[in-house]
Amino acid sequence: MEKSWGGIGDSPALMRLRGNSKVIKKPMMGMAALILTMPAFAAEQASQQDVASASSEESVVADKVKVTGILPDRLESVPGSFNVIDEKELKSRQPFSVREALNQTPGVNIVGEDAFVLAPNIGIRGLNPRRTSRTLLLEDGVPLFLAPYGDPSAHYSTPLDRVSRIEVVKGSGQTLYGPQTVGGMINFVTKPVPKEFQASVSAIIGNNNFSGGHVNIGTGGDWGGIMLDAVNRKGDGIRDNHDFEINELTLKGQLNLDERNTLIAKVGWYEENSSISETGLGLVEYNEDKYQAPTGNQDSFNHTRKSLQLQHIFQINDKAKFSTQFYYVKSDRASFRQINDPGTLGGRSEMDRCSGVVATEANSAQCGGRWRPREFEYWGVEPRLDISHSLFGIESDAVIGFRYHREDQERNQYRASNPLAQNLGWVIANGDHRESIDIDVEAKSYYAQNTFYVGNWSLTPGVRVEDIRISTNVLRAEGADHNNPESSLTNNQTKVLPGFGIAWNGIENTTLFAGVHRGFAPPRPDRDYSAGGANTAVVSKTKPEESTNWELGVRSRYFKGLSYEATLFHTKFDEIVINGANPGSFVNGGESQQSGIEFAGRVDLGQVYNTPHNFYVSGTYTNLFTAKFKKDGQRVADGIVSGDRLPYAPRHLASINFGYSHPVGIDARIGVDYVSQQEEDPAFRAGIVGSTNYILRGQSGKIPSYTLLNASVSYRPVGSKATFFVSGHNLGDKEYLASRVDGMVAGRQRQVFGGVRYDF
């Protein structure tokens, strides 16, 4: 029997709704017992529903099993807002990076600090986009962060060459996933293992010394399949001397043991070598040359990521499926910088380890700096049952699952003024060891969700429980050893996160939906300590972020050739977390509120007039009319004032595209993207202590609005195996300010690239 799998470890489809070694503690026995009884429970339910005999079941089970993504097959039943960028759209638009892939998604704001979005900054509905820490970033349902609980920072996103679709979920459908559920989720669904031999090769080249290649080769049959991907990208960054190169190898396989049992595995290796510093420019430097990077020849960011995903799927019958997933990720990242605080010398940057020396290319070669080598390791196991039933006399789809997750962090920092310190090995042996922190996390997640189908209505209640233990041990900080009781702390948190959604499909090809869910983001242990001299380190318990998220909306394809959606949303935070005045620090910002409305639509005139000449218009618009703090901060230096707008929360986001496509194989479009004015972090705003210095450092001031012109064209002649494409972004070469988080950072200049893909 033929099986079709679109991903791995990503949350199996509902049969109808789908639409450093340390001692590890055992999961709680009660949940273990429940998991062990799931298959028996499913079999009993199937028997009560008069399922067919085992032999007839086998003829349908294999054909119905599909692992796609976090969205169900029956999209009309999803009780919340979502967006899907499928493979066809990705090929027609030819996005340069994940930023261009998502810039037509309503509610999504991406701050581009580097040319290729190597460290994504994605914010949803007014949440701070810094390192995507408030958006759950997934690949095939597994988090992509350095440490999903302990350090939810994104320094990696799935190369688009491997992606078959991108799912963006912002509504109440987040109950089944975690831990970051305060804003939304983005899931990269990778391409499925082929059912027969297939291969492709692509090559691209562009300005700014950009080039890349991708090779995909795979084969398969009734037994399963295997597929290999190899990706390379390199080029110059936004600023001088900010070149980068990434390489990735991914091996994915599937083994069909029999009609009911399937094994899926994916192994990945990724490496980034770049000269991109996370520090921006001071005011004077930016005004002189916004694209300069005085220490770029020495600065570096090196990141290696190894990953493994294993999944066993047991298709009990045509109404029940029991899956067990295991994942493991290890990331090693080491960054070197020579500027820590930009603009401290009257608007010019100071060499971090050479006091009073202005940062220039010549001076940077004669000075050391600071290294931050860090290791992150996490793994987890997640058994889950998907079952269709009528236990309450109502046709239903249910999901019951549990996840046990462990992660470890080792954070170090070394400093030295000697230029030999530009070598990590030298500075570890001879430098000033400034920081050593161990963080250990154990998390147990329990979730259950049921969708009731009553006429044209779909009702989906659900609940998720997060039980977290975070242990932080400061061994060394500010260059001193620490073994006092206050330097070690265990923070325990248990949160119950309910959600409820409703969808109505009483009008053809139209869904009205509403939902509410409780959002949660766990405490960040990397912000929980302070230290001065020896044995003065104090680790404190910061509060987790909690939110209540409401939605009301409609999506429709009622009229031929016209699709549209509109969503009214409201998010209330009990305790939002924002950047503090000190670099890398975070503070609790108290209550906040985000409210707005999103629109998206597309008109295909080819469908309206039944002609192969399809002229189309697509657009999105988000009006975030409220994004504000609700009460004053506890400290003046934090700059939090009730009623002030949240940082990096543009009031208006808009995108419109005009295009033409024809069955002969051509697809061309031109469009503009608009981002309105944004506020900087409140700790740097005018009127607070040190605000004059923050102006010179480039951290104080508005981020002006900007509009970018983009275009793309792809052509695949009928009967040909070759596809030719050209894509351009910021074609007007607009100069604009992208961020002030660590000084002033300019946005990317004009980028044009072209290439060819050949399918064997």
pLDDT bracket for residue 146 (50, 70, 90): very high
pLDDT at 25 exceeding the cut of 50: no
**Per the domain annotation, does 566 fall within a domain?**
yes
pLDDT bracket for residue 23 (50, 70, 90): very low
- Do residues 181 and 520 make contact, with C-beta atoms less than 8 angstroms apart? yes
pLDDT bracket for residue 526 (50, 70, 90): low
Pairing of strands 666-675, 706-715: antiparallel
Q: How far apart are CA 348 and CA 359, in angstroms?
A: 8
**Per the domain annotation, does 321 fall within a domain?**
yes
Q: How far apart are CA 87 and CA 84, in angstroms?
A: 10
Q: How many CA atoms lie within 13 A of 636 on its CB side?
A: 6
pLDDT at 509 exceeding the cut of 80: yes
Pairing of strands 185-190, 136-139: parallel
**Per the domain annotation, does 35 fall within a domain?**
yes
pLDDT at 296 exceeding the cut of 60: yes
**pLDDT score, position 584:** 60
Q: How far is CA 455 from CA 19, 390, 394, in A?
A: 17, 14, 10
b/e code 733-745 from CB counts within 10 Å (16+ = b): eeebbbbbbbbbb
CATH code for the domain in which residue 203 is found = 2.40.170.20
- Do residues 192 and 262 make contact, with C-beta atoms less than 8 angstroms apart? no
Q: How far is CA 249 from CA 189, 223, 270, in A?
A: 17, 24, 7
* Beta-sheet strands, E only, within 640-750: 652-662, 666-675, 706-715, 722-729, 737-739, 745-746
pLDDT at 44 exceeding the cut of 50: no
Instruction: Report pLDDT digits (tens) over 223-260.
Output: 999 999 999 999 999 999 999 999 999 999 999 999 99
**Per the domain annotation, does 557 fall within a domain?**
yes
Mention every residue, 6+ apart, whose C-beta is less than 8 A from residue 33.
none
Instruction: Report pLDDT digits (tens) over 704-729.
Output: 999 999 999 999 999 999 999 999 99
pLDDT bracket for residue 576 (50, 70, 90): confident
b/e code 153-171 from CB counts within 10 Å (16+ = b): bbbbbbbbbbbbbbbbbbb
**pLDDT score, position 583:** 60
**pLDDT score, position 212:** 97
Q: How far is CA 64 from CA 68, 81, 287, in A?
A: 12, 26, 61
* Full residue range of the structural domain in which residue 498 is found: 4-214+226-759
Mention every residue, 6+ apart, whose C-beta is less than 8 A from residue 37.
none
**Per the domain annotation, does 220 fall within a domain?**
no
Mention every residue, 6+ apart, whose C-beta is less than 8 A from residue 190.
7, 8, 139, 140, 158, 162, 163, 164, 250, 252, 266
**pLDDT score, position 690:** 66
Residue 342 has φ and ψ, to the nearest 5°, of -70, 155
**pLDDT score, position 262:** 96
Q: Report CA 511 to chain centroid distance, whole Å.
A: 27
**pLDDT score, position 73:** 65
Pairing of strands 510-521, 745-746: unpaired
**pLDDT score, position 5:** 36
Residues in the chain: 760
pLDDT bracket for residue 634 (50, 70, 90): confident
More confident residue, 330 or 640: 330
**Per the domain annotation, does 219 fall within a domain?**
no
What average pLDDT does range 672-687 have in this prediction? 91
**pLDDT score, position 551:** 96
Q: How far apart are CA 754 and CA 712, in angstroms?
A: 9
b/e code 455-494 from CB counts within 10 Å (16+ = b): eeebbbbbbbbbebbbbbbbbbbbeeebeeebbbbebebe
Tell me the percentage of the chain whose pLDDT exceeds 70. Answer: 89
Mention every residue, 6+ apart, whose C-beta is less than 8 A from residue 67.
5, 6, 7, 8, 10, 12, 13, 264, 313
More confident residue, 581 or 545: 545
Instruction: Report pLDDT digits (tens) over 191-230.
Output: 999 999 999 999 999 999 999 999 999 999 999 999 999 9
Which residue in 518, 340, 511 sits closest to 415, CA to CA? 340
User: What average pLDDT is seen over the chain?
Assistant: 89
**pLDDT score, position 39:** 44
First to last CA, the chain: 25
Q: How far apart are CA 529 and CA 662, in angstroms?
A: 60
**Per the domain annotation, does 28 fall within a domain?**
yes
Q: How far apart are CA 216 and CA 228, in angstroms?
A: 6
- Do residues 551 and 81 make contact, with C-beta atoms less than 8 angstroms apart? yes
The domain total for the chain is 1
pLDDT bracket for residue 68 (50, 70, 90): low
pLDDT at 444 exceeding the cut of 50: yes
**Amino acid letter, 2:** E
**Per the domain annotation, does 221 fall within a domain?**
no
